[in-house]
Structure formats: C-alpha cells, structure tokens
Chain A
Amino acid sequence: MKLTLKIWRQKNNKSKGKFETYKVDINEHMSFLEMLDVLNEDLISQKKEPVSFDHDCREGICGTCSLTVNGRPHGPIQGTTVCQVHMFNYKDGDTITIEPWRSGSFPVVKDLVVNRSALDRIIQAGGYISVNTGQAPDGNSIPVEKDLAEKAMDAAACIGCGACIAACPNGSASLFTAAKISHLGLLPQGEVETRRRAKAMVRQMDKEGFGACSNVGACEVECPKEISIENIARMNRDYLGSVFAGDK
C-alpha cells in the first residue's frame, strides 16, 4: 500500500520545526514503527537524515514510543501503544500526520523524540514505598484482598509513556500521577504514607509546569493501558486530606 506521511522534523530543542512530506510503499502486515523503519532505510539510501523517533520493546510495555498520529497519541486503536498498531488499520492512499508529544513540559529533543524526565521527577518526589532492601516481612504476612490487589494492578499498569499528557488540552499529568498514588495507596503496604506521597507528587507535578485537570477525560481515552480517570478523584481526595490535615 502507498501512503503519504506528513512528519514533524526539528533538528534540536533550539531550532524551529516544520512538517515534511514523504511517500512510502509498504505492506499491511508491518507495524507502524516498521513502516517508519522502511521510510528511514529509504532516506538513508538517499544519504538523507532519517526521522528520529523513540522506541524500544515494540511490545507495548516499555512506554518508550510516543507518536501523535493524526492528532491522537498512539494512533487510532484503543488501548494500544503505537508500536502495536499494524498497518492493516490504514487504507492504500491514506495521508498520515505524525507529530511528537505536544506539551510544554516535554521539550523536543529531535524530530519526534521528546524529553520526559519530568515524569521521573514526579516519581522521585514520592512515588515509592519507603522500605530499604532487607527490611521486608514475609510476603504472606499482610493479606491483600483480591479485588484490591486487582485494582492496584489496574493503576500500576501505567507504562509512563506520557500519552495522557499529550492528549490533555491542559497538558495535565494528573492521570500519570494519580495512577501511581492509587497503585501504592490502595495496598496496605503503601497506605501508611499516602498523604505525604500525594502531597509531594502533586506539588512536583505543578512545579514541572503541567496543567491542571478540568475533567476533560481525553487522558483516559488515549491511555494505552486504559487507566481509569477514577484514579484522579482518588488523588484529589488524598491530596485534600493531606492539606486539611496540615501535613508538611
């Protein structure tokens, strides 16, 4: 199948970017990223610079790939990263627009690659349970209700890709932050420091310049792991709890 690609090209963080148009002739069984591989091999054969894009596991779990395709983070398929989108989802002759994650807190590194270290800093602010190696009691000493463990797992499934932020008109990192607060706070092991965690993480989120949540819900729609917006409600409750309690 023959496709027209409009791809964002930007040399580095300091230069201005623009769209360039390319043609590719590919096979429908390729993945979306394999389609870009074909384009890049073609560019290299013409001694031109290939398109830089982030990718690694190509199994939908590492959270590295980060393309906005025709305006949608991770492309047209629900509950999927772009590396798992296959070209049979497109028709011969289609035009596809490919952009990086768009957010003020994700500066462009090159072409389609952005810097997402702000997300690491949110985790560093409190996205953990304070336990050192060797301090743990026996794994079965704290029973965890099956449904609760499942709920925590639902939130823990976040792959930290940042699609929620790219999807949000406010550029809010609420779903990412809330997923971690829920994952740890729902479990008895992590509940102990919930309020401290919520406060520290929310503050860091604000400090990084992410926008506020106004309940648009685009994050939930585009999340490749289908993480529920319910988590944001839980985060807000935990955060307010800590504010009213006057925690430091």
Chain B
Amino acid sequence: MKLDAKIPPGPLDEKWSHYRGTMNLVAPNNKRRIEIIVVGTGLAGASAAASLGELGYKVKAFTFHDSPRRAHSIAAQGGINAAKNYQNDGDSVYRLFYDTIKGGDYRSREANVYRLAEVSAEIIDQCVAQGVPFAREYGGLLANRSFGGVQVSRTFYARGQTGQQLLIGAYSALSRQISLGTVEMYNRHEMIDLVKVDGKARGIITRNLITGEVERHAAHCVVLATGGYGNVYYLSTNAMGCNVTAAWKSVKKGALMANPCFCQIHPTCIPVSGDYQSKLTLMSESLRNDGRVWVPKKIEDAKAIQQGKKRGNDIPEEDRDYYLERRYPAFGNLVPRDVASRAAKVECDKGHGVAPTGLAVFLDFEDAIMRYGRSEANARRMNGEATPAVIRQLGEEVVKSKYGNLFQMYEKITGDDPYKTPMKIYPAVHYTMGGLWVDYNLETNVPGLFAAGECNFSDHGANRLGASALMQGLADGYFVLPYTIGQFLSNEIRTPEISPDLPEFIEAEKAAKDRIEKLMSIQGSQSVETFHRRLGKIVWEYCGMSRNAEGLKKGRQMIRELREEFYKDVFIPGSKDEYNPELEKAGRVADFLELGELMMLDALDREESCGGHFREEYRTPEGEALRRDDGFTYVSAWEWDDNDPMLHKEDLVFENVELKTRSYK
C-alpha cells in the first residue's frame, strides 16, 4: 500500500495558510444536510463537534461517559503550550515546531508539527474567549511557566487543573451547539464497530450502555477522537474507562495503526504500592520546575530508606546524587519525559531506589521553598527578622500557591507531607504517541474516517513534550479538522442521506451482536479484570521502559496464549440487555489483547532506540538511546491480520531541520 501523507507543496511556513486558503469548501446550504459522526467528546472530540456544528453541519456526537465533561482530558494538570512569546524569551512558531520535532526524536512529520505550532496561539485566544480562567499576572495579563524539554516559558495554565478548564471550555461550546440543535448528543453510547459502504466510512454501530441495545448510526463521514490506549498496560495514569475499542474496530475494518510501540512513560507518578492497585496517579511535570530529583549516592542509605530505617531528610547533602543535574547539566531536572523516566529506572535498577519496592526516586522541594522564601522576605524588606523558620514559612506559601492542589493530592494518597519531606515518584504509563495513521487532513487510509487528538499518531513522534497533548487535541478539533474535513465532504455534496438500513449496516450490527453473544456465552471461571491485569504485566515487562528482541518475541507469544485463554475462560456476569460494566470491560480487554500483540511486533521491527522506545541492543557507550536514522526514519503503519499483521512504511522526509543526536547535556 502506498501511503500518501498529502503534504501540501511550498515552503514550510506557508504550507498551511496556502492550503487553507485554496482548499475546497462546502457551501452553507449543503452543510445543513451533510451529517458527521464524532465519536469521543474529550478535548479533540468536543472541540471538533462544537466547531463543526457552528459551521452548520449536522453533527451526532457520542461518548461512553455519562456526560461529555468526564473525558480523561480533564485530568491533565500542568498546562498547554503556545508560541505566543508573551514572556519575550525568544519563543516563536519555529521554536515550538523545532522543540516538538526534536522532543519527538525526529519521528514525526515536519508539516503537521509546523501547523500545530502555528495554530497554537489561536487556541489560547479561543480558550480565553470561552472563559477559561488561565493564571494571570498582577497586570492582568496571562502567566506562563516552563515544561520539560524546552528553554522558554510558553505553558499557559489554570492552577493544576488546566485540562479540566480547557475541557469545560470545549464542553460549554458543545453544550451551546446542542442547545441550538446542530449537535445531537448521545451519552453512554459506546462505538463497537465502524461501518463502511463502498469503501468509505459511513457510520458506526453503538451499544447503548444503559439498555444494552445495539444501534446503527449513519452519516457522510466519521471522526474518531477516542483518546489513547495506555490502559493496555492495566496500570497507567489513564482513567479506568480509557480504551482502544473505537480505534481498534476501525483497524479491523482496514484502518492502519501507526507506531503502536511509541508509549510515553511519565517520570513523575506516585509509585505503585500494592497488587490491589487499580490505577496510578500523576504528579504534574510542572513540579520539575522547582523540584530536584535525587537518590542516595550510597546503596546502604538506599537500603535503609527502603526498610524504613532512614528518611530522605536524614541523608546529608554530600551523599545525594542529583543525577539529572549531573548527567544533563543544560536541561537539568527539566529534561524530556522519556529521558527522565529512563534515568530513574537506571538508578533504581542499580539499587538506589527509595520505596519499599525499590522503585522510587525523590523529588525534593527544599531548595525551592528556601529560595522562594528568601525572595519573598526581600520583597517584604524583612532583612533582620527573616529567620530560617520565617523564610521557610514564606517559601511554603509560595510553593503552595503554585502547586497546592498537587501537594494536597500527594498527601491524601501517601500520608506524607511533601512540604516537609521529599516526594517519592516513579515513572508510569501516561500517553500513547502511536495511534491511527492519518494524512495531513487527519484522514485515515479509509476514506471518510478521520482521527483527531491522542487517537491519531500525528504530531509527537516517539516522545511527546509536556503540555503538548492539550495543544494537539484542541488544534485538531478547533482549527484543523473543521477545515480539512471539507476536502472529503466537498465531494459528497451530491451524496444523499446515508440510510442506516443499508445491508452493510445490518451486517455490521449482526456481527457486533454476535461478538457480544460470544463473550457472554463463554461463562468461564476468571474475571475480565484478571485477564486485564495479566495482559498489563506482560506488556509492561516486555514492551515497557526498555525492550529487547528476545523479550518482545516472548511477550507476543504470551499475549497470543492469553488471548486464547480469554476466549475460553472469561466470566461475564449479568445479561447483555442491561447496564453491564463487566461486559463493557470484556469488549475493551478483548481489543487490548490484540493491540498488545501489535505493539510487541512494532517494537520488534524498530531496531533502534528513539524517544519512549528504548531497545537495549541499541544504545551508545554512555547508555543513551541510539537512534538509527539510516534505516528507521519512517512511520510504521500496520494492517491488522489475525495471524500476520502487515507493515507499511511512510518515509519521513526532513527538509527543514537537520537530524541530530538529541542531546540535553
């Protein structure tokens, strides 16, 4: 299969504006009769559905949640990037583009990333206009902070709840369109199949999660904005409901899955504490602005801490190894996520970890508290009266104003007070850069099927920079898809309304019902959860922070066996014709059991280390990732097959940046 990314011609900085200005349009009278299905109502889906509704299309939006406001975009804490250069620190569209390409380890498309950087500024304007209460300076203007992998301050934020506020912005825009009648909203409906008619995506099959009813929905095209697949690992920072089903059903109908092995393991999460654990909690990357990461230099100190005989504060300064500052002096604690995660693993593997499990490092705010305290004391002209205790108190107040809710959350979960004792953190699965293969129009290889936000593979290469997920979700939904979808729809103006009674719909509905029937009829002895946990352990073990050929082959085999066992021995209580969360989970885990295998295959094929993908066989003498541009500068796009998935390659062409070894030293 020839993969055409449809990148417009012309210089990088003119591609989008020229393309946008010359692309085909759909006239208002035609928009009124063209129907669009949007699946998923997180940042990308809600912003797309709202914007398409505003343009006059007839939109049907679907979410498995009880309300569009629940999507997991809501949990993003730290912020959203934009090339506004409000801080006068040398930021520009080009710099954001360059940081993102470099941060992604040169495995993303130049043109897509440049467009993302270009529209980033408009996103902030749009969100401000919607009433997103971004942090402000005393002068009333927007405040910024820094994130990993960059040397400018371009991240906009609303306390530690930026994702929530942006989602509420998109949700309110969507709600307005629902009230105006341009968008019809289906809550608690899960997409369980894609329907193609004459090769084009024309609709979906859904299950009403309350009644269990299987329904057919038709439209001129389908937009998926269904998020990432991090829950394949069972333990991740994703919400419990996050799943790959909508995307995976599309893969089974011919859409290609790109770079599935590119998963982001976030360095600052609360460490795993026991087998009962259902999910992991993220501590925002913004904490690395002020927190210093360290482990004890001496193994015996680490052991004492692991056994509870010593605490972090007992280790004197000279016996602490601030390993990020030592190894990467240029970026220090603000190296990108993949680098920070791997470095934590290296220290813990050497025995320097600080939790009972040995799997944690310290994130320490002591220096920041005292530094802020001194500066606050100076500002208040307290020269003589500022004792260390007063300085500490002032400093704690400043830190509280910046990260109060995160510190509070940490204390609630762990029982430790991070103002007094360093936090313990460890990497956890957080985001998936891989996803459905899309061209410049965000259209998959199935005509009429679009993918936006985390569920496409488009912009982050092999590693995503902090505060860029919110940016991409909203860029796709507000400012890219509403234009590019016209390229497809302008050829559909003569297509009459698509009937959900076409044989293709009846057939897909029957197949979906048969799948449900099959799952329900197994009546085995193990719960869905058991299988999910076991799958997660395999994927984490063999396709986690570091991978090797032998392990990946073994992992693939183990997943195949687990899948077989699943279809023989899973037990789903209740019936299919009612609200049945176990049945929902079973369908999702069944899809993860196939995706997991594809991840192993993809990781096996990519014989290099880049971004979040670290192959033990490919590293430099210093232990850093060894990228191999000669053979692997491509997007891997997989066509699913039960026995032998097929790899298609899209070569990545770099005309504007020079491929360099990524260095944060």
Contacts and interface: CB of A to CB of B under 8 A. Distances in A.
Interface of A: 11-12, 26-27, 29-31, 33-34, 37-38, 41, 43-45, 47-50, 52, 54-64, 77, 80, 84, 86, 88, 109-110, 113, 115-117, 119-120, 123-125, 127-140, 142-146, 149-150, 152-153, 156-157, 159-160, 183-184, 187, 189-190
Given A29-B273, A44-B573, A153-B159, A56 B129 contact: no
Given A37-B278, A57-B74, A117 B582 contact: no
Contact of A128 (B173, B277, B282, B582): B173
Question: Which of A33, A109, A124, A189 has the most chain B CB within a 10 Å cutoff?
Answer: A124
Contact of B409 (A27, A49, A84, A113): A84
B571 A47 contact: yes
Contact of B140 (A60, A86, A145, A190): A145
B573 A47 contact: yes
Nearest to B69: A160
Contacts of B531: none
Contact of A59 (B70, B75, B175): B75
Given A12-B579, A109-B579, A62 B239 contact: yes
Contacts of A48: 573
B149 to A, nearest CB: 23
B594 interface: no
B274 A134 contact: no
Contacts of A54: 66
Given A56-B240, A61-B163, A136-B122, 17 more contacts: A29-B273, A30-B276, A47-B571, A50-B582, A52-B581, A56-B70, A59-B281, A61-B161, A110-B579, A117-B66, A128-B173, A137-B125, A145-B140, A146-B137, A157-B159, A157-B161, A190-B131
A128 B573 CA distance: 42
A2 to B, nearest CB: 15
Interface string B197-241: 000000000000010000000000000000000000000000111
Contacts of A62: 70-72, 74-75, 239
Contacts of A30: 274, 276
A130 B131 CA distance: 10
Given A37-B529, A49-B574, A50-B573, A56 B86 contact: no
A56 B241 contact: yes
Given A136-B125, A183-B133, A153 B527 contact: no
23 contacts: A30-B274, A37-B278, A37-B529, A43-B573, A47-B571, A47-B573, A56-B70, A57-B74, A59-B75, A62-B70, A64-B70, A80-B412, A110-B578, A110-B579, A124-B175, A128-B173, A128-B176, A129-B129, A131-B129, A135-B129, A156-B131, A157-B159, A189-B128
A64 B65 CA distance: 9
Given A44-B571, A49-B573, A133-B51, A143 B139 contact: yes
A52 B530 CA distance: 18
Question: Which of B159, B172, B281 has the most chain A CB within a 10 Å cutoff?
Answer: B172
Contacts of A127: 172, 175
B304 to A, nearest CB: 22
Given A128-B176, A133-B50, A184 B129 contact: no
Given A29-B273, A41-B529, A110-B578, A130 B54 contact: no
Contacts of A157: 159, 161, 164
Contacts of A58: 239-240, 278-279, 281
A57 B239 contact: yes
Question: Which of A57, A115, A131 has the most chain B CB within a 10 Å cutoff?
Answer: A57
Contacts of B126: 131, 133-134, 136
Contact of A160 (B67, B133, B165, B277): B67
Contact of A56 (B65, B122, B168, B479): B65
Contacts of A149: 133-136
Give the top 9 A-B pairs by smallest Cβ distance, nearest first.
Answer: A143-B140, A136-B129, A128-B172, A136-B125, A153-B133, A139-B128, A124-B179, A133-B51, A57-B239
A142 B412 CA distance: 38
Dominant SS at the A interface? loop
Contacts of B582: 44, 50
A139 B84 contact: yes
B548 interface: no
Given A56-B72, A146-B136, A160-B67, A133 B478 contact: yes
A138 B409 CA distance: 34
A144 B122 contact: no
A133 B131 contact: no
Nearest to B71: A62
Contacts of A77: 412
A84 B412 contact: yes
Contact of A129 (B131, B142, B165): B131
A128 B281 CA distance: 31
A146 to B, nearest CB: 5
A235 to B, nearest CB: 16
A116 B66 contact: yes
B131 A183 contact: yes
Contacts of A86: 412-413
Contact of B54 (A88, A132, A142, A153): A132
B409 A156 contact: no
A153 B573 contact: no
B621 interface: no
Contacts of B479: 133-134
A115 B125 contact: no
Contacts of B164: 61, 157, 159
A133 B477 CA distance: 10
B124 interface: yes
B358 interface: no
Contact of A144 (B75, B136, B161): B136
Contacts of A31: 278
Contacts of B187: 117, 120
B569 to A, nearest CB: 13
Contacts of A189: 128-131
Question: Which of A26, A29, A135, A190 has the most chain B CB within a 10 Å cutoff?
Answer: A29
